[in-house]
Amino acid sequence: VLQLVKNTSDGSKLDVIIQGKKKYTYQFDSAHTREMFCLQIRQMKSMHSTEKDVDQISVFIGTWNMGE
């Protein structure tokens, strides 16, 4: 699995991009089910990774009112 792309307009859809293959779109019963699936994929990648450290990032998104 190269990348997991969560659909922002529909909380139950997930695009899975596999290295060397096309993108697959999955429809889950609920957003919670999708999140549990994503968590399991990330855990599998961490457990079976040959790298010593798995890259993780933190993203902060902030907004402000420019006002009048």
**Residue 4 falls in which region: left (phi positive, over 0), alpha (psi -120 to 50) or beta:** beta
Bridge partners of residue 4, in order along the sequence = 16
Check residue 27 and give its pLDDT. Answer: 94
Check residue 51 and give its pLDDT. Answer: 65
pLDDT digits (tens, 9 = 90+) for 14-48: 999 888 888 999 999 999 999 999 999 888 887 77
The predicted model scores a pTM of 0.63
